[in-house]
Structure 1
Amino acid sequence: MPYLANCSMLFTEVPLLERPAAAKAAGFDTVEFWWPWPDQPVPGDADVEAFVTAVQDAGVQLAGLNFFAGDLGGPDCGVLSIPSRSQQFRDNVEVTLGIGERLGTKAFNALYGNRVDDATPGQQDDLGTENLAYAAKAADRLGATVLVEPVSGPKPYPLRTADDAVGVVDRVRATGTANVGFLCDLFHLANNGDDVDAAIANHADRVAHVQIADAPGRGEPGSGDLPLDRWVAELERSGYTGYVGLEYKPTTTTLESLAWLPVERR
Structure 2
Amino acid sequence: MGFADQRFDVNLSILFTELPLLQRPAAAAAAGFTAVELWWPWVDTPAPERSELTALGKAIEDAGVRLTGLNFYAGRLPGPDRGALSVPGDESERFRSNIDVAAGFAESLGCTALNALYGNRVDGVDPAEQDALALENLVLAARAADRIGAVLLIEALNRVESPHCPLVSAPAAVAVVDKVNAATGLGNARFLMDLYHLSMNGEDLPQVIASYVDRTGHVQIADNPGRGAPGTGSLPLEELLDRLGKAGYEGWIGLEYKPGDRPSSEAFDWLPRAARAAR
TM-score by length of 1: 0.98
Match of 2:269 in 1: 259
Q: Which residue matches 1:64?
A: 69
Residue correspondence of structure 1 range 117-156 to structure 2 within 5 A? 117-152=123-158, 153-156=161-164
Q: Residue by residue, what CA displacement relative to the aligned partner does 1:18-43 show, whole Å, maximum 9, x if unpaired?
A: 00000011111100011010111111
| Deviation per residue, 1:82-103 (Å, 9 max, x gap) | 1112111110001001111110
Please state if 1:164 is matched with 2:172: yes
Task: Tell me how far apart the structure 1 counterparts of residues 28 and 52 of structure 2 sit (CA, whole Å).
Answer: 20
Displacement of 1:255: 2.0
Aligned to 1:212: 221
Aligned to 2:245: 236
> In the alignment, is the contact (CA less than 8 A) between 1:166 and 1:182 conserved in 2?
yes
Q: Distance in 2 between matches of 1:195 and 1:121?
A: 27
Residue 45 (1) aligns with residue 50 (2) = yes
Is the counterpart of residue 173 in structure 1 residue 181 in structure 2?
A: yes
How far residue 130 of structure 1 moved from its aligned partner, in angstroms, is 1.3
The answer to whether the 8 A contact 1:77-1:155 is kept is no
Q: Secondary structure at the match of 2:167?
A: coil
Give, in angstroms, the shift of residue 61 of structure 1. Answer: 0.4
Preserved contact between residue 133 and residue 177 of structure 1 (Cα < 8 Å) = no
> Aligned residues, how many?
266
Deviation at 1:48? 1.1
Amino acid at match of 1:145: V
Per the alignment, residue 202 of structure 2 pairs with 193
CA positional deviation for 1:201: 1.0
Does the CA contact (< 8 Å) of 2:27 and 2:265 recur in 1?
no
Question: After the TM superposition, which segments of 4 or more aligned residues of structure 1 sit over 2 Å from their partners?
Answer: none
Structure 1 residue 14, shift from structure 2 partner: 1.2
The alignment's C-alpha RMSD in Å is 1.0
Structure 1's unaligned 5+ residue stretches are none
Equivalent position amino acid for 2:202 in 1 = G
SS of 2:70's equivalent? strand
Give the counterpart letter for 2:167 in structure 1: L
**Helix, strand or coil at the partner of 2:125:** coil
Q: How does 1:68-83 map to 2 (within 5 A)?
A: 68-83=73-88
The letter for the 1-side match of 2:190 is G
| Partners of 1:120 and 1:263 in 2: CA distance | 50
Q: Is the 8 A contact 2:25 2:36 kept in 1?
A: yes
**One-letter amino acid of the counterpart of residue 263, structure 1:** R
Judge conservation of contact 1:214–1:221 (CA < 8 Å) in 2: yes
Q: CA deviation at 1:13?
A: 2.3
Does residue 13 (structure 1) correspond to residue 18 (structure 2)? The answer is: yes
Q: Kindly provide the amino acid, as one letter, of the partner of residue 3 in structure 1.
A: F
Which residue number corresponds to residue 3 of structure 2? Answer: none
Q: State how far apart, in whole Å, the 1-side matches of 2:192 and 2:247 are.
A: 15
Bigger relative CO (Cα 8 Å, ≥ 6 apart): 2
